[in-house]
Amino acid sequence: MKRQTILALALAALAVPAAARSVVSAQQPPTPAKPPATPAQQPQEIRKVNLTAGRSTVMPTDFNITRIAVTNPAIADVVVVQPREMLIDGKAPGTVSLFVWGVGHREQFDLVVEPAVTNLEQQLRALFPAEDIRINVSDEAIILSGQVSNNRVMLRAGEIAQASSSKLKVVNMLQLPGGPSSQQVMLQVRFAEVNRRTLAERGVSFFTSGIGFKDTWARSTTGQFSAPDFEDLESTKIGDDLATVSGKLSFSDFLNLFVLSAKYDIGAVIRVLDQTGAFQSLAEPNLIAYNGQEASFLAGGEFPVPVVQGATGTVTVQWREFGVRLNFTPTIAGDTIRLKVRPEVSSLDFANGLTLSGFRIPALTSRWAQTDVELRDGQSFAIAGLLDNLAQDDQAAIPILSQIPIIGSLFKSKATRAARTELMVLITPRLVRPLDPDEVPPLPMQQRLFLPPKKDVGEHLNGGGGTVDAPPVSKPVPVKKKH
């Protein structure tokens, strides 16, 4: 009986929570079912719209537009012109995203703005319709790429691109079929200068001694050449008679011939000079430059030029270059090399210099030429005919006396100068490439003149040094002495 009572109580206890749960469940409202996904929430494929910079297009939609958004209006701008039409303007090359909203709709587009066809590209297509020439214009350069058939098209396309914009740099990357792989040019240049000059001087000056000739001082000169001067001339007279006469002569130049008679107190300095000179200069510089890059060479020196600064009068020194100079810019077009060359030879000219604040500043005598040439690898061209002929004739005479027959020539002087300078430049360009390690030729040295490798100080340092990490040094070949 007790067991039946306990079992009934246990069943009642289990039934109460279940009833409570059913009551609570009956009191809570039912959870609403999720609505089906709308078309705006469903993932859609992003459509791509292509247009050109500077051009516009109209794009229709299937719904009324309520709102739009563009990620970068500087590349593309969108304006709603009708409830279901948009006007898209391409402004600059690039790709942006466009979002369009409507009632229950949303779509996304990728606007791809391609570069516009420039006037340069249109001109090149019209001039060379069969060539594959592509143009890329950036903020600082115009890049030409593609394939062309011959050198003429490659060079002309570069010239047209350079003429179209003077501010942008042209990078010509047009390729030729079977063109050389080398992009470096070595220029072999030979400067030869010959200078010849002659000088002829004729003149005579007469003079008396310091005490004069028969109590008379006299001198004749044209002033073209230096003549003796009188100093400390003194005379004493007693009544009408001359008692004493004294004086000195000073000579700045005895010229070529000097004659003085102590008996008659008469002398002469004669200028008779013939001078010739010759100068020859030869320089052979070699210079390597990359395709399209300028290279320069100078074999000479620098001389100081003092410069006075403003009102303070401070003197500063600037250095000017002189000597043999070469500037050139190569352009490789297949197997043809186009060169812009400017050779120059300058030398110091002290005769035409000036003196400033106690400094002797020489002038510069320069000979140069600038030209553009086109030739193949190994061919040569010469710049000759750079002649400089100079002739100068100076004459001086004493009026009346120089017109006397026969002896009138004694009162004349003459100086004749003539100079001839000729410069020739011979230029040979070559396409070169770097040498591999196994192609480097040995240096022309005699190993026996150097210290033996075993006596290297670096080998005795802590941690090694000297030739430890260097390649092994071969032993010098002994030189057999002839007996």
- 0.85 exceeded by the pTM? no
Whether the CB-CB separation of 425 and 343 falls below 8 Å is answered with yes
Q: At what angle do helices 151-164 and 119-127 cross, to 10 degrees?
A: 150
Tokens in use for 94? 């690039």
Please name every residue paired with 112 in a beta bridge, in sequence order, or none if there are none.
50, 95
State the amino acid at position 102 in one-letter form.
Answer: G
Count of alpha carbons within 13 Å of 398, Cβ hemisphere only? 18
Tokens of 434: 């770097």
Contact present, 451 and 411 (Cβ < 8 Å): no
Q: What does residue 7 show for φ and ψ, rounded to 5 degrees? A: -65, -35
Residues ≥6 apart with Cβ < 8 Å to 139: none
Q: Which residues contact 362 (CB under 8 A, 6 or more apart)?
A: 303, 348, 349, 350, 352, 353
In sequence order, which residues have a C-beta less than 8 Å from that of residue 55 and are 6 or more positions away?
Answer: 90, 116
Both tokens of 255, joined, read 């010229």
CA distances from 125 to 130, 153, 332, 408 (A): 8, 12, 23, 83
Given a contact cutoff of 8 angstroms between Cβ atoms, the answer to whether 250 and 231 are in contact is: yes
What CA–CA distance (Å, rounded) separates 344 from 197? 21
Burial of 301 (0-12, 13-18, 19+ CB in 10 A): exposed
Tens digit of pLDDT per residue, the chain (483 long)? 444 444 444 444 444 444 334 333 334 444 444 444 444 445 567 889 988 888 899 999 989 999 999 999 999 999 999 999 999 999 888 899 999 999 888 899 999 988 776 778 888 888 888 888 888 877 788 888 888 887 778 888 888 888 887 778 888 888 777 655 667 888 888 888 788 888 888 888 888 887 777 777 788 888 788 778 878 777 777 777 766 777 777 777 766 777 888 778 888 888 888 888 887 777 788 888 888 888 888 888 888 888 877 777 777 888 888 888 888 888 887 778 888 888 888 888 887 888 876 778 888 888 788 888 888 888 888 876 667 788 888 888 888 888 888 888 888 888 888 888 887 888 888 888 888 888 888 877 776 666 666 655 555 555 544 444 445 555 555 555 554
C-alpha–C-alpha distance, residues 362 and 355, integer Å:
9
